[in-house]
């Protein structure tokens, strides 16, 4: 632990920056809890229209594909603006940045809740996407900097669990609430959650220059490793979403599961993702490189297993859980690697990783869309599995080329 702290301090010293002292433990825990709640809220806001698709379409008198654009347009925005936005605010204290982003979340959620037209809702969603793009870049280094280096992997794991719970808990709960009231009600609830986070961060997070944050620079800067992890993360996202985008169709057409069972399996997939993130977080501090490789390899095994044996119900469920258990840990492990190997500021590295992963998500959906009409839904998992194997190859090649 002491060695890691010394390397971090040395990296900061090389850039001419001092390392700011950490806040009292109770303040650190309170800020971490607020950041976890914010991660949950942002991810719920991103995906909530999926569950409210028909309600929004009927209320605003637009087509289902138009409402779907509220999700795809959101993801593309995050992919495009993450890096330039992070670079633009690189000199602004993180307390001010996070407070501004959470204020944008509150305002945009309220604007979405009262939107009377489709374009008003889309504009509000894009404001939320801009805030989320920057949030994921600056939140990680701030959160891990609150704690000693020896537990930073567990902090990354906690943030990832909170984000993953959005799909398992946030979106289903928001969908249930919207179906029993109005689609605007769960959107307004997100504004309330954002306000809680905003007040906590504004009051408890210390103000410091970004370069003076304890986790502002990596423990072992390595441009080659950074490029390797970035490429592997983008490829694994491409592979995952080539199949995941069509997973409901796959389970029905190939697995032969009835619709009600498909819904249960889809929920179980989300639970497996949360479980995978929770387990991986325990090992991130001790085995950071192995965590990345194991997560990507597990994803490949799950996808190729679904392709090969997806028509057998028991095997389909087993490989589905395997894939679900790897999906969250892949991104979490690459984020953790940014703290170790970023050649410059870690917030810039986080932004680059988030942008690359979101670009991979979009590319994966496009790849699956190309394969689907040519070879059927089963082949989307073959294409995704092979692309994920390519990510494994990149990681293994990078490890062999690394200096010893």
Query: What pLDDT, on a 0 to 100 scale, did the predictor assign at position 357?
Result: 87
pLDDT, tens only, 185-203? 999 999 999 999 999 999 9
User: Burial of 50 by CB count in 10 Å (0-12 exposed, 13-18 middle, 19+ buried)?
Assistant: middle
pTM of model > 0.85: no
Residues 123, 35: Cα–Cα separation, whole Å: 25
Q: How many CB atoms lie within 10 A of CB 103?
A: 15
Query: Could you tell me the pLDDT band of residue 3, with boundaries at 50, 70 and 90?
Result: very low
For the stretch 62-102, pLDDT in tens is 887 788 778 778 878 888 898 899 989 988 998 999 999 99
- Closest to 332 measured CA to CA, from 297, 375, 281: 281
pLDDT, tens digit, for every residue of 137-165? Answer: 899 889 988 998 888 888 988 998 898 88
Helix (H, G, I), strand (E, B) or coil at 217: strand
- The confidence score (pLDDT) of residue 64 equals 75
Condensed to tens digits (0 to 9), the pLDDT of residues 293-329 reads: 999 999 999 999 999 999 999 999 999 999 999 988 9
What's the CA gap between 254 and 69, in Å, rounded? 28
Q: How confident is residue 130, by pLDDT bands cut at 50, 70 and 90?
A: very high
Band the pLDDT of 9: cuts 50, 70, 90. Answer: very low
Mean pLDDT calculated for residue range 267-287: 87
Q: How far apart are CA 104 and CA 279, in angstroms?
A: 33
Q: State pLDDT tens for residues 30-66.
A: 999 999 999 999 999 988 887 787 889 899 998 877 8
Q: How confident is the model at residue 207 (pLDDT cuts 50, 70, 90)?
A: confident
Calpha distance 366→360 (Å, rounded): 10
- Cα separations (Å) of 148 from 83, 283, 404? 27, 16, 27
Decide: helix, strand or coil at residue 23.
coil
Q: Confidence band (pLDDT; 50, 70, 90) for 245?
A: confident
Q: How many CB atoms lie within 10 A of CB 277?
A: 29
pLDDT at 16 over 70: no
Supply angle C-alpha 260, 246, 362, rounded to 5: 140
Q: Is the pLDDT of residue 218 over 60?
A: yes
Neighbours of 259 (CB within 10 A): 9
Nearest C-alpha neighbor of 242 from the set 53, 391, 130: 391
Q: Is 86 exposed, middle or buried (0-12, 13-18, 19+ CB in 10 A)?
A: buried
Q: Give CA–CA dist 34/200, Å, rounded.
A: 6
Averaged pLDDT for residues 349-360:
88
Q: Do domains 22-212 and 223-401 have the same CATH topology?
A: yes
- Where are the domains positioned within the chain? 22-212, 223-401
223-401 topology per CATH: Growth Hormone; Chain: A; (1.20.1250)
What's the rounded mean pLDDT across residues 249-261? 89
Q: Identify whether the C-beta of residue 332 lies closer than 8 Å to the C-beta of residue 281.
A: yes
User: Could you tell me how many residues make up the chain?
Assistant: 404
Q: Which CATH architecture has domain 22-212?
A: Up-down Bundle (1.20)
Closest CA to 324 of 271, 381, 392, 394: 271
């Amino acid at each position: 632990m002491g060695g890691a702290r010394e390397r971090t301090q040395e990296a900061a010293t090389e850039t001419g920056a001092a390392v700011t002292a950490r806040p009292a433990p109770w303040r650190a825990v309170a800020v971490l809890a607020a950041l976890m709640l914010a991660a949950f809220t942002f991810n719920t806001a991103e995906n909530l229209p999926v569950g409210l698709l028909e309600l929004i379409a009927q209320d605003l008198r637009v087509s289902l594909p138009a409402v779907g654009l509220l999700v795809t347009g959101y993801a593309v925005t995050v992919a495009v603006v993450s890096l330039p936005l992070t670079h633009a605010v690189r000199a602004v204290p993180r307390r001010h940045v996070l407070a501004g982003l959470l204020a944008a979340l509150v305002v945009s959620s309220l604007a979405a809740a009262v939107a009377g037209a489709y374009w008003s809702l889309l504009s509000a969603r894009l404001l939320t996407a801009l805030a989320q793009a920057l949030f994921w870049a600056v939140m990680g280094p701030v959160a891990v900097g609150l704690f000693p280096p020896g537990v930073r992997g567990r902090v990354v794991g906690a943030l990832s669990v909170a984000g993953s719970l959005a799909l398992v808990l946030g979106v289903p709960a928001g969908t249930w609430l919207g179906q029993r009231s109005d689609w605007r009600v769960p959107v307004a609830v997100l504004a309330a959650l954002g306000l809680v986070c905003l007040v906590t961060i504004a009051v408890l997070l210390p103000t410091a220059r970004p370069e003076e944050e304890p986790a502002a620079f990596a423990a072992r800067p390595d441009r080659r490793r950074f490029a390797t992890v970035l490429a592997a993360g983008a490829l694994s996202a491409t592979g995952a979403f080539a199949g995941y985008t069509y997973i409901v169709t796959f389970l029905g057409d190939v697995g032969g599961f009835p619709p009600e069972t498909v819904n249960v399996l889809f929920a179980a997939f989300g639970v497996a993702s949360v479980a995978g993130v929770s387990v991986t977080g325990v090992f991130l501090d001790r085995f950071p490189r192995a965590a990345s490789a194991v997560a990507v390899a597990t994803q490949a095994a799950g996808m190729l297993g679904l392709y090969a044996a997806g028509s057998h119900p028991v095997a389909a469920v087993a490989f589905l859980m395997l894939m679900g258990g790897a999906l969250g840990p892949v991104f979490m492990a690459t984020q953790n690697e940014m703290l170790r190997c970023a050649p410059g500021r870690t917030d810039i590295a986080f932004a680059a990783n988030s942008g690359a992963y979101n670009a991979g998500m979009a590319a994966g959906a496009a790849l699956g869309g190309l394969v689907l009409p040519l070879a059927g839904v089963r082949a989307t998992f073959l294409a995704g599995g092979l692309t994920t194997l390519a990510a494994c190859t990149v990681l293994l090649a990078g490890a062999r080329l690394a200096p010893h």
